[in-house]
Structure 1
Amino acid sequence: MKIWFYAYASVVTFFWVATKLVNCQAAITGQWDFVGHSGVSSMHAILSPNTNKIVFIERVELTTNVTINGKPTYSVEYNLDTNEIRALTTLSNTFCSAGSYMKNGTILNLGGAEAQKGFAEGFNRVRLYNPCDDGTCDWQNDVNNLNAKRWYPTVEQLADGSLFIIGGSTQGAAVNNATINVASYEIYPSAPGETSIPLQFLVDSLPNNLYPCVHLLPDGTLFIMANQKAIVYDVISRQIKTNLPDVPRAARNYPLTGASSILPLDSSNNAEILVCGGGNQISPSKTVGEFSCARISPTSSNPTWEIEEMPFGRTMPDMTILADGTILILNGCNNGTAGFNKGSDPVLTPVIYNPKAPAGSRFTKMQPSYIPLSGSNPNNKPNVDGPYPTEFRVETFSPPYLFTGVPPPKIQQAPKDLKYGQSFDINYVAYSGTRKMTVNLHQPAPAGGAIAPPGPYLLNILDNGIPAKAAWVMLS
């Protein structure tokens, strides 16, 4: 038995945790199910805390099927119980924005693109969404804007719950350059008089450095990667703590976009980072998706990249941690670069990466999807023609652990609020064959914010490799 704290990544494919009928093939490769329509082409998706809903965010274009009072809008709330949508207000152009949770559970979306279709520009806007379960919540503008215009920035939560906002450009572009590069970061909420802080790393990593990969490490420092360069950065001292070796083989950031994840921590708190996909640019239309994943322990005494080969090359993949601690890698294409209709040959087959398996046996192919676009739309207006029409279908992916024939454990009682280091009780029902057991556990919460920043989490039980339906908990 293990207990996991985890948060959902902004991926447009969702994961059921429910009892499934025994299905021999699905028990090996998982299962896709079409469940509904999104109304918007979902560029970003984030789970709304303490609800069973997802917030979708689209760019401002002619691609929406949703209106408010007759005016197009580009964000919706999707109900996972009913598969129905509720239109949300569009405040400014959210194209190429970024998002995060705040420590009080508020969803934050920031940055964006130029004014479009009667909507304000979003380059330095901050939008806030306070989750609700009664259909009344909506996007609101923060009274304060960002200190810099940011198209394609990255947001990562720090140990104290504040947000680290890094990079971007001052306008949209096929590739970044010195004229538009935003070589700085800022902290949100900012202290009075605080401005953007220059970071030479964002100059040295040009041109493929938009949406840099950033992960909070258990000692409170940040792993930052852009293009093929990587560092460990100390936000308190504003100094680079470690210059890591260059990432081998390929560029890993926009427009040669890869994906990254911090691997689940164990009691040793030895953080490892996994970076997969990307590309080496020959020309925008001839770039081949990178086959490799690169893995590193950035705070070790001798950090070195370990290279592993995926079954498929991928540009623009997505990665998310599943409830059993494995990593799902999905979406993306084999050829081309991000944006501007340059991607082709979509990769429909996801793979699961098991970080604890021996090297050479960590990847398992899953059941292919039939839908080639997830979280992307190459069209300026709805297009039903090929090769890649505007896509509003929503599908769920159920991992193999839901098809074992054994009912998942069921959490009966868990705390809604936790303090760091606090011990807590959790009660759940588990199944071993046909035998039903009630289990009571006494566990410690994470020791501090560098291990798990304050805010909303999904608390889960993993029993014999099978997860329960998670319970929401606020950690502070």
Structure 2
Amino acid sequence: MASPLQTAVLAFVVLLVAAPLAKGSEFFPFPFESFNPTPGADFSDNPGYMPNTEPEPKYKFDPAQSQLQQQAAGNSLLMPVPTRTQKVKWTGVVVAPNPADGFAGSYEIISNNTGVNCMHLAIAKHGKAIMIDTVALGNSLLKLPNGNCRKTSNATNAKLDCFAHSAEFDYNTGKIRELKIETDPWCSSGGFAPDGTLINSGGFALGERSVRWLKPCPTCDWSDYPNALFKGRCFELIPEQGKMNRGVSVFWFFKETTEDSENNLYPFVHLIPDGNLFIFANDRAVIMSPTTGKIVRELPNLKDGLTSRTYPPSGMSALLPIDLRKTTPGQPIQAEVIVCGGGYKKCFKDEAPNGRFPDALKDCHRISVTNPAAQWAKEDMPAPRTMGDFLILPTSELLMLNGASKGCSGWTFARSPVLTPFIYKPNEPIGRRWRALKATNIARMYHSTSAVLPDATIMIAGGNTNQRYDFRDTTMFPTEMKVERFTPPYLEPKLAADRPAISERSITGGMRYGQPFTFQFSMPRVPVDQPHVMVTMYAPPYTTHGFSMSQRLLILNITQYRKGAPTQVTVTAPPTANIAPQGYYYLFVVAGGVPSKAAWVQVV
């Protein structure tokens, strides 16, 4: 029997690549898939991976809660979260904020029940969050309308699945709309096309060759093309909608970085300024040309023989903000990548299945990916972490949240959730870069997600370490259906009067590479001088399994600034598609460290 790992359910990573991969006026997401060459490798008996085929548990429901949750979601197809009469105790990691740092953030529950566990998350340009889960874990809490069930196989007499496994969530109102996804997107990948269409690729079983398209509109639903990808793929472009790929290229790097516990799935992929791709898998990193598929150079590795940074040890990575104010005409644009956390190579196969949960890693490593002579620079986080998220904030700081301090990815394979988010300040000296924020009381480990919202707050969702939607009293970490909104320190209530506001009416047309882009913003109080103003643009990513695909933040160069009521500012658009692939971005004004709400702007 071929293991699910050999069918490459987990290994897709999508990046919206730049001009070299354009076909006419179209740009395509670029997935990578790991390859397992281990002869006879079979993890089908490993409880950390396989779906549960046992009958659904019988739960108790509170009719009053059912009505309240349906009203809040504006959806009568939503089933209530089952009632639990007791809880299994667990201990999380909390790092106390320094009182001298001031406001440490705040939390708000914006939904008690989204109906679908948020394993995958993307924020679309029509103001909605798209949530995706696997179809393999049984019933969700959100039904599909009568007559709109999905077939569970290609057999004539296939069973019907009448529950939704994807949903559109309005993070401002709490309303939920069920979406129908035909094939299993379990541990797939995603990204946005230039017109804002969400593209989801790969998955499990009937979904492993699928590409799914969702346009950003109030009534749109998934279009699923189950044979779009070539079976056995390793290096493959997404075909145009409705078409099929006829072949693939094998990428040797994934062969060389796989092990008996894989350890190279969900590799970290970042588009760098020269148009090449930084790829980190297991404990090694390379720069690869997306046009030729060949390795341009290999970076220093992080090998120690014991630890890995990618799934299932599951560290975190981000392309640090690219500051276009510091560029010199004719000189290459510089970029750095950071890789944090992870765990022990043997956790998934040998340790966690036997009830042992080793400490996650506490270190981070940074490297200039545009300097061929660069070496990794090491620093430590305030606490160990695996399975966390690493988001870039509009202020050019980063936010690390979610995850666990012990164990690794896999069903029930982690303990000791890290409840404290950390701010990372990349421009500060080592020793002053990390700041602990207010802790949550909700465990978010395996299959949890987060996203920066257009209002500069953070949406936190999902979390399911179980082999089904599990709400039993005996379950340590039941499936988490709540959604939190986290308000970072830069939105401290007393700073509300200092918050700039972009004039949406002044955003006309799209940004064109290297061209001036002018818009206006206002300040509730006194307008600020140019040295205290920063304009940033952020590519909203597709986040799953601790990696935010296609995420990037650019700091734009201000060329003209006219202070007034309103203030008018002109910036220079990013120079090439290697710096900013075509598509929709959040545009922020940061005045005195306080960000505006974002305006959507399209790079064309």
Q: How does 1:90-239 map to 2 (within 5 A)?
A: 90-114=181-205, 121-132=206-217, 135-142=218-225, 145-148=228-231, 184-189=234-239, 195-207=247-259, 208-239=263-294
User: Any stretches of 5+ residues in structure 2 without a counterpart?
Assistant: 1-98, 147-161, 328-332, 449-461, 529-563
**How many Å separate the matches in 2 of 1:432 and 1:302?**
48
Whole-angstrom CA distance in 1 between matches of 2:139 and 2:316: 26
The CA distance in 1 between the partners of 2:463 and 2:202, in whole Å, is 18
Q: Which residue of 1 aligns with 2:415?
A: 344
CA contact (8 A) 1:424 1:445 kept: yes
Pairing partner for 1:417 from 507, 510, 523: 510
Partner of 1:354: 425
2:254 counterpart of 1:254: no
* Pairing partner for 1:42 from 82, 106, 118: 118
Q: Alpha carbons of 1:434 and 1:446: their partners in 2 closer, same or farther (altered >3 Å)?
A: closer
Matched, 1:399 2:483: no
CA distance in 2, matches of 1:473, 1:189: 26
**Structure 1 residue 185: Cα displacement:** 1.1
Residue 145 of structure 1: how far off its partner (Å): 1.1
CA distance in structure 2 between the partners assigned to 1:46 and 1:220 by the alignment: 24
Cα drift, residue 198 of structure 1: 1.0
CA distance in 2, matches of 1:248, 1:205: 11
**Structure 2 vs 1, CA of residues 248 and 409 (structure 1 numbering), >3 Å: closer, same or farther?**
farther
Change (3 A) 1:185 1:35: same
- CA-to-partner distance for each residue in 1:191-233, whole Å, 9 max, x for gaps? 9875211111001111211111100001100000000010011
Matching residue of 1:166: none
Q: Distance in 1 between matches of 2:211 and 2:526?
A: 51
1:57 aligns with 2:132: yes
TM-score (norm 2): 0.65
Q: CA deviation at 1:236?
A: 2.0
Counterparts of 1:431 and 1:248 in 2: how far apart (Å)?
Answer: 52
Corresponding position: 1:315 with 2:382? no
Instruction: Give the 3-state SS of the residue equivalent to 2:254 in structure 1.
Output: helix
1:425 CA displacement: 0.9
Aligned residue number for residue 358 of structure 2: 287
Q: Which amino acid aligns with 1:382?
A: D
Report the counterpart of residue 470 of structure 2 in structure 1.
Answer: 382
**Alignment partner, residue 80 of structure 1:** 171
CA deviation profile, 1:75-114 (whole Å, cap 9, x unmatched): 1100122111110112111111111111221101111112
Aligned CA-pair RMSD: 2.1
1:151-198 C-alpha deviation (Å, 9 max, x unpaired): xxxxxxxxxxxxxxxxxxxxxxxxxxxxxxx6x211123798752111
Alignment check: 8 A CA contact 1:30 1:367 kept:
yes
The 2-side partners of 1:205 and 1:218 are apart by 25
1:303 is displaced (CA, Å) by 1.7
1:429 to 1:313, Cα distance in 2 relative to 1, 3 A: same
- Corresponding letter in the other structure for 2:110: V
1:226-275 deviation digits (Å, cap 9, x = unpaired): 00010011122332111101125631111110111101101233110011
Q: CA deviation at 1:410?
A: 0.2
Asked if 1:472 is matched to 2:600, the reply is yes
Query: In the alignment, which residue of structure 2 is the partner of 1:442?
Result: 570
Moved over 4 A (4+): 24-27, 190-194, 431-437
Contact 1:416-1:472 at 8 Å conserved across structures: no
Please tell me whether residue 325 in structure 1 is matched to residue 389 in structure 2. no
Aligned mates of 1:196, 1:270 — CA distance in 2: 32
1:26 and 1:400 in contact (8 A); partners too: no
1:274 alignment partner in structure 2 = 338
* CA apart distance, 1:277: 1.1
Is the Cα contact below 8 Å between 2:227 and 2:244 reproduced in 1? Answer: no
How far has the Cα of 1:384 moved from its partner? 4.0
What one-letter code is carried by the residue in structure 2 that aligns with 1:234? S
Cα distance in 1 between the residues matched to 2:323 and 2:527: 31
Tell me by how many angstroms 1:287 deviates. 2.7
- Paired AA for residue 231 in structure 2: A
Query: Do 1:205 and 1:226's aligned partners in 2 also have CA atoms closer than 8 Å?
Result: yes
SS in 2 for 1:405: helix
Contact 2:140–2:163 (CA<8 Å) still a contact in 1?
yes
Rounded to whole Å, the distance in 2 between the matches of 1:270 and 1:241 is 17
- SS at structure 1 position matched to 2:103: helix
Q: Tell me which amino acid in the other structure corresponds to 2:301.
A: D
- Partner AA of 1:298 in structure 2: V
Partner Cα distance (1:416, 1:366) in 2: 39
CA distance in 1, matches of 2:174, 2:603: 29
Q: Aligned residue for 2:89?
A: none
Is contact 2:425–2:433 with CA below 8 Å preserved after alignment?
yes
Deviation of 1:449 (Å): 0.4
Distance apart, 1:470 and its partner CA: 0.4
- For 1:192 and 1:393, the matched residues in 2 are separated by 38
Alignment of 1:456-471 (within 5 A): 456-471=584-599
Stretch moving more, 432-441 or 400-409: 432-441
Is the CA contact (8 Å cut-off) linking 2:287 and 2:298 kept in structure 1? Answer: yes
Distance 1:53 1:425 in 2: 27
Check conservation: 2:586, 2:599, Cα contact below 8 A: yes
> CA separation in 2, counterparts of 1:198 and 1:217?
22
Q: Any unmatched runs of 5+ in structure 1?
A: 1-23, 115-120, 150-181
Equivalent pair of 1:406/1:433 in contact (CA under 8 Å): no
Q: Which residue of 2 aligns with 1:426?
A: 519
Shift in CA distance, 465/248, structure 1 to aligned 2, threshold 3 Å: farther
SS at match of 1:417: coil
Larger radius of gyration: 2
